[in-house]
A = this chain, B = another copy of it.
Amino acid sequence: MTPRWGRWGPDDEVGAPNLIGPAEVRAAVGLVSAGRVIKLGMDLGPATVVPPHRKRIERSMSRDGGDYAAGARRPGGFQFAEEVWSFAAHSGTHIDALSHAWYDDQLYNGFPGNGTRSTTGAQRCGAEKLAPLVTRGVLIDAAPGSSLPASTPVTADDLRASGVALRPGDVVLIRTGWVTAMVSDPLGYCDHEPGIDTSAAEWLAEADVAAVGADNYAVEVQPAPPGEMFPVHQLLLRDCGIPLIENLLLDELAAAGAAEFCFVAAPLPLVGGTAGPVCPLALL
A25 B60 Cβ-Cβ under 8 A: no
Instruction: Give the residues in chain B near A262, CB-CB below 8 Å.
Output: 29
Given contacts A269-B44, A271-B59, contact A80 B100 (CB under 8 A): yes
B70 A66 Cβ-Cβ under 8 A: yes
A7 touches B (CB below 8 Å): no
Instruction: Give the residues in chain B near A269, CB-CB below 8 Å.
Output: 39, 41-44, 279
Instruction: Give the residues in chain B near A34, CB-CB below 8 Å.
Output: 22
In A213-235, the 8 Å CB interface with B consists of 224, 227-231, 233-234
A182–B100 Cα distance when bound, in Å, is: 30
A279–B88 Cα distance when bound, in Å, is: 19
Listed stretches A114-122, A140-148, A157-165, A203-211; interface member:
A114-122
A283 touches B (CB below 8 Å): yes
In A4-35, the 8 Å CB interface with B consists of 21-26, 29, 32-35
A270 touches B (CB below 8 Å): yes
Nearest-CB distance from A260 to chain B (Å)? Answer: 14
B79 A70 Cβ-Cβ under 8 A: no
A3 touches B (CB below 8 Å): no
A266 B264 Cβ-Cβ under 8 A: yes
A280–B268 Cα distance when bound, in Å, is: 10
Of the candidates B25, B55, B86, B277, the one whose C-beta lies within 8 Å of that of A283 is B25
Instruction: Give the residues in chain B near A1, CB-CB below 8 Å.
Output: none
Listed stretches A101-109, A187-195, A251-259; interface member:
A101-109
Given contacts A44-B270, A45-B272, A283-B134, contact A66 B24 (CB under 8 A): no
B81 A122 Cβ-Cβ under 8 A: yes
Choose among A33, A45, A105 the residue with the greatest number of B CB atoms under 10 Å from its CB: A45
Instruction: Give the residues in chain B near A105, CB-CB below 8 Å.
Output: 65, 68, 79
A104–B231 Cα distance when bound, in Å, is: 37
A100 B81 Cβ-Cβ under 8 A: yes
A37–B272 Cα distance when bound, in Å, is: 23
A46 B104 Cβ-Cβ under 8 A: no
What is the interface of chain A, defined by CB distance below 8 A to chain B? 21-26, 29, 32-37, 39, 41-48, 54-56, 58-72, 74-90, 99-105, 112-119, 121-122, 128, 132, 134, 224, 227-231, 233-234, 262, 264, 266-275, 277-281, 283
15 residue pairs A–B, Cβ–Cβ below 8 Å: A43-B269, A59-B270, A61-B61, A61-B117, A64-B117, A64-B121, A70-B117, A78-B234, A82-B100, A85-B86, A85-B87, A118-B118, A132-B281, A264-B281, A266-B266
